[in-house]
Amino acid sequence: MSQLSSARYGKDNVRVYKVHRDEKTGVHSVIEMTVCVLLEGDIETSYTHADNGVVVATDSMKNTIYVMAKQHPVTPPELFASIVSTHFIETYPHIHAAHVKVTVHRWTRMTIDGKLHPHSFLRDGAETRNVEAVARKGSGITVRSGIAGLLVLKSTGSAFHSFIRNEYTTLPEVWDRILSTEVDCGWTWKTFPGLSAVMENIPSFDQAWQASRDITLKTFAEDNSASVQNTMYKMCDQILKAVPDVAAVDYSLPNKHYFEIDRWTEELTTKIDLSWHKGLKNTGKDAEVYVPQSNPNGLIQCTVTRKPKAKL
């Protein structure tokens, strides 16, 4: 016999755009986001006994997102995700938890002739601001805020040496390398008892996003990196210091490799380091032309929390 061990369902990829028009100044502000809602609760019978009587249609969830976006602020995204998730657990007695993910896409105001334009915007990069709020009956609201898709590169100021060398090792040690990654980072807030606690915290959400982004970029740029591991730990540590209400910070960083052209051909017969062309020097200190790699890539992850205070 089988049993349903866990179940959640909902609507993903709900795209929403909202404009605010300032009637006095004529300045428009726009938000574009993609929302995912997943519900948990007493819904087993819909899976096991074809009982749709417990099913909130995913189409209705989509409609709810639009109505909530019309009736409530959509910024900061932490607030909107908390409003939507609280709505679902408060509206349906048999729904115990609502997971709401909000991905905010960039629409940055254009500068035209040195002036901010009132209603024109540009997509300056694939970076997104991400939030997941989970409202659970009797347990409050947990919120993880984050940044994803932020692509960065530094052309020096990064090393990687003194790692384990054995019969599986071919990687040379380097004291100067290119470092590039696509930042995916998050900061998890101490659990909020309910929506009013989220509302009291509204200004902190944008501040924390700005601080985390600034710390990520400044540390990436300025750290004399010994490894991705060490640089990301420094980022986490600073974010925990900068945002007191955050309980944990996590990063997931792919190591986007850029190799010198000094590899052997596949048949291992020739070194293709450009010297074959009129003796061109392009290795070591002469290296200028590199080959960006798409795969495989390193993937370095960590979560950093606060040390419990020592008992006296």
227 contributes a contact to ligand URC by CB under 6 A: yes
Choices 1-9, 89-97, 200-208, 223-231 (CB under 6 A): range interacting with ligand URC: 223-231
Please choose, out of 80-88, 145-153, 221-229, 283-291, the segment that lies near ligand URC by the rule CB under 6 A. Answer: 221-229
Is residue 157 involved in binding ligand URC (CB under 6 A)?
Answer: no
User: What is the closest distance, in whole angstroms, from the C-beta atom of residue 158 to ligand URC in the complex?
Assistant: 8
Q: Is 235 in the site for ligand URC (CB under 6 A)?
A: no
By annotation, the residues acting in catalysis are: 11, 58, 257
Smallest separation, CB 230 to ligand URC (Å): 8
To ligand URC, the closest distance from the beta carbon of 176 in angstroms equals 13
The 3-state secondary structure of the chain reads CCCCCCCCEEEEEEEEEEEEECCCCCCEEEEEEEEEEEEEECCHHHHHCCCHHHCCCHHHHHHHHHHHHHHCCCCCHHHHHHHHHHHHHHHCCCEEEEEEEEEEECCEEEEECCEEEEEEEECCCCCEEEEEEEEECCCEEEEEEEEEEEEEEECCCECECCCCCCCCCCCCCECCCCEEEEEEEEEEECCECCHHHHHHCHHHHHHHHHHHHHHHHHHHHHCCECCHHHHHHHHHHHHHHHCCCEEEEEEEEEECCEEECCCECCCCCCECCCCCCCCCCCCHHHCCCEEECCCCCEEEEEEEECCCCCCC
Of residues 99 and 256, the one with the C-beta less far from ligand URC: 256
Which of 19, 116, 171, 291 binds ligand URC (CB under 6 A)? It is: 171
228 is in an annotated binding site: yes
Does residue 255 touch ligand URC according to CB under 6 A?
yes
Per CB under 6 A, residues contacting ligand URC are: 160, 171, 227-229, 255, 298, 300
